[in-house]
Structure 1
Amino acid sequence: MRIGLVGYGKGGRFFHAPLISSLPGATFVGVVTRSAERRRQLATEHPGAKAFDTLEQLVAAGVDSVVVSTPLDGRPAVVMEAIERGVAVVSDKPFAADALQAQALVVAAERNNVPLSVYQNRRWDSDFLTVRKLLDSGVLGQISRFESSVERYSPASVGKGSGGGFLRDLGSHLVDQALQLFGPVVRVYGELDYREPGQVFDNGLFMSLVHVSGVVSHLSGSCVQNAPRPRFRVSGSEGCYTVEGLDGQEALALAGLSPATEGERWGAEEHRRWGWFEHGTERERVASERGCWIEFYRRLQSALQGGGPLPVEARDALATTRILDAARQSAEQGQVVVLSAPVGHGMKNE
């Protein structure tokens, strides 16, 4: 399979290119970027990949799929161009600025019979995979509350809007994971944090989602938090699972490493990073599953070559975007938003 990339900033350079170049049976064709600096980086890091001025040139070079990793303000237009050119497309997240924009992309892809997926790589984080395994096993019993948080101290990120603020950028992952685990949502409450007067983009968020299943999800994130909460705390009738810190794949990617260079070490968490199962006085370590971001591309490859399901359905991203819209509405109005119909993954009539 031949894969091309649009954009070679942080996302394209560190979170896509290393995985595409590591994928067996795939060719990393090249990148659309006009930046001289990024072209030099590409030539050094992926000498077999060519640089292109336009998406038209990349498509003409022959690709089975294009991955769009450009800033949010221009990303939907590039995704739409790929759809109109009839090329399978992967959009980075956040998928769109709002649900109306997301709906237009989904409808266009379906109308043109073009596969459209969204890069929700954190479905393959080590800690998230561990939560899924515990839920499938039933060891936690009936789940009542799911708490998911990504908090860092990075004041340089305050007010940055390339991803639409923390709600759109980080919130896309948090909501997607909650929907994956506990299904459609009927009530949304949101709070947004703005550190500086007149700031357009938020630098922190809190969301409370009430799922049809009865589970309540508390989702939070911040780029100015000195004392982060646990990454996950999952509370059930038979016990609670907690885990600290972040999945290690991001740090590996930012260090210039890849599944190809690391082999079996990629995605494996050392035991000090494992989480805990607790029930009353009982407390024991839970071995973390191995993280595997490249699984997204394996599933994309399988879908395009064999007609199987896409790794992430575009309508999943539409459902996530609708909940993010509701969270912003809640924060602006200071009240809970009751959804007229449940919103969640797998709901084809959205």
Structure 2
Amino acid sequence: MTATRIGLAGYGSGGRIFHAPLLAAAEGVEFAGVVTRSPERRAELAKGHPEVPAFDSIADLAAAGAEAVAISTPAATHADLARQAIGLGLAVVVDKPFALDAEAAREVVTLAEEAGVPLTVYQNRRYDADFLTVRRLLGEGALGEVRRFESRFERWDPDRQPPAAGGGTLLDFGAHLVDQAHVLFGPVARVYAEMRSDGELDSDVFVALHHESGVESHLWGSWRQAAPGPRFRVSGTTGTYIVDGLDCQEALLKAGRSPAALGERWGVEPEHAWGRLYRGKTGAPVRSERGRWDSFYPAFAAAVRGEGPLPVDPWDSVRAMDVLDAARMSAATGETVDLAAPAQAG
């Protein structure tokens, strides 16, 4: 199998911790280089991946033979860098949030389609152990008819502002929360949101979605929650599934572990971290699926070679941006916002 040559634009915490190790470990991928002009970042690259060259620009990366690029830079630069890469004929992975608003996201997806360039969005939380477990339980009918989906990314860091690179909590955490709700329960008809800001960026958000399927999704994102709630609580007519804590893959990468080192142990949740399925007062542990962030880049590489679908349809992220735009409007007005129509057939 010919490897797909994929480069990385950006080597801050996102690129260095969350993308580079997965690119380096991915089957069917040659880690082709990193675009960064920072001497500090170049030194970190040389230490962590001495075989991987550094480039000054995406154009230089393309000239060196790269076929694709993953963009992991501040959110405000995503759309412009994606346009640049598309213009160079490079297949593109854009980190979340895809763009700052739905209009920019829609324009980039349309541009890629017109150019015939593969484009996807790095929605790695679709490959979390807990999320995959929820999908399995829904497929098995273990919860009956789902009525309410509760999902949280809540952290306690009161002395820190939400990272500006992520665009604030609504865009940073909300991009994952809304994407997961949409994958599980389909298009959204109505949006209500509340937001709190302690500085220039929102630090605490609540978003309520009414899906066309009838499911209600309640989503929380916060950097100011001293007692985080369960990661998921999924309530149905015959059972409720509750799981606490975040999927282990983020902690593994931050600790310097990688799929290359752990192999089949990568993404395996310890039994004490499994969720529980409740029917009334009694609850029983539910085996967690293995987390598979390591599957994203092999799937993307295969799609670039024309050997499979993109791991994430970019129109999914446009639809998610429509929801996030509506949430911002709702929080500003105090009113529920109706979504008239889907972003695009896809």
TM-score computed with the length of structure 1 as normaliser: 0.96
Query: Which of 197, 206, 209 is 1:194 aligned to?
Result: 197
Tell me what 1:348 maps to.
Answer: 345
- Tell whether 2:115 aligns with 1:118: no
* Conserved? CA contact 1:159–1:200, under 8 Å: no
Matches for 1:167-206 after TM superposition, within 5 Å: 167-195=170-198, 199-206=199-206
Question: What is the deviation of 1:281?
Answer: 3.3
Q: Secondary structure at the match of 1:157?
A: coil
Q: Secondary structure at the match of 1:306?
A: coil
The residue type equivalent to 1:119 in the other structure is Y
The residue type equivalent to 1:191 in the other structure is E
Question: What is the deviation of 1:189?
Answer: 0.2
**Distance in 2, Cα, partners of 1:160 & 1:60:** 33
Question: What is the deviation of 1:89?
Answer: 0.4
* Conserved? CA contact 2:162–2:223, under 8 Å: no
Matches for 1:271-310 after TM superposition, within 5 Å: 271-310=271-310
RMSD: 1.1
**Distance in 2, Cα, partners of 1:105 & 1:130:** 32
Question: What is the deviation of 1:75?
Answer: 1.9
- Structure 1: which 5+ residue stretches go unaligned? none
* Conserved? CA contact 2:232–2:243, under 8 Å: yes
Q: Secondary structure at the match of 2:285?
A: strand
Question: What is the deviation of 1:186?
Answer: 0.4
- Tell whether 2:34 aligns with 1:37: no
Question: What is the deviation of 1:73?
Answer: 1.6
Tell me what 1:311 maps to.
Answer: 311
* Conserved? CA contact 1:194–1:201, under 8 Å: yes
**Structure 1 segments of 4 or more deviating over 4 A?**
none
**Distance in 2, Cα, partners of 1:308 & 1:157:** 42
**Quick one: percent identity of the two aligned structures?**
53
Question: What is the deviation of 1:306?
Answer: 3.0
1:44-74 C-alpha deviation (Å, 9 max, x unpaired): 1001100001111100111121000011122
- Tell whether 2:21 aligns with 1:24: no
* Conserved? CA contact 1:206–1:220, under 8 Å: yes
* Conserved? CA contact 2:94–2:121, under 8 Å: yes
- Tell whether 2:154 aligns with 1:157: no
The more displaced of 147-156 and 34-43 is 147-156
TM-score computed with the length of structure 2 as normaliser: 0.97
The more displaced of 159-168 and 74-83 is 159-168
- Structure 2: which 5+ residue stretches go unaligned? none
Matches for 1:70-109 after TM superposition, within 5 Å: 70-109=73-112
**Distance in 1, Cα, partners of 2:27 & 2:124:** 18
**Distance in 2, Cα, partners of 1:212 & 1:273:** 32
Change (3 A) 1:201 1:58: same
- Tell whether 2:228 aligns with 1:231: no
The residue type equivalent to 1:147 in the other structure is E
* Conserved? CA contact 2:319–2:342, under 8 Å: no
The residue type equivalent to 2:242 in the other structure is T
1:31-54 C-alpha deviation (Å, 9 max, x unpaired): 000111110110110011000011
* Conserved? CA contact 1:19–1:258, under 8 Å: yes
* Conserved? CA contact 1:164–1:201, under 8 Å: yes
Q: Secondary structure at the match of 1:294?
A: helix
Q: Secondary structure at the match of 1:191?
A: strand
Question: What is the deviation of 1:299?
Answer: 1.2
The residue type equivalent to 1:20 in the other structure is L
**Distance in 2, Cα, partners of 1:35 & 1:333:** 42
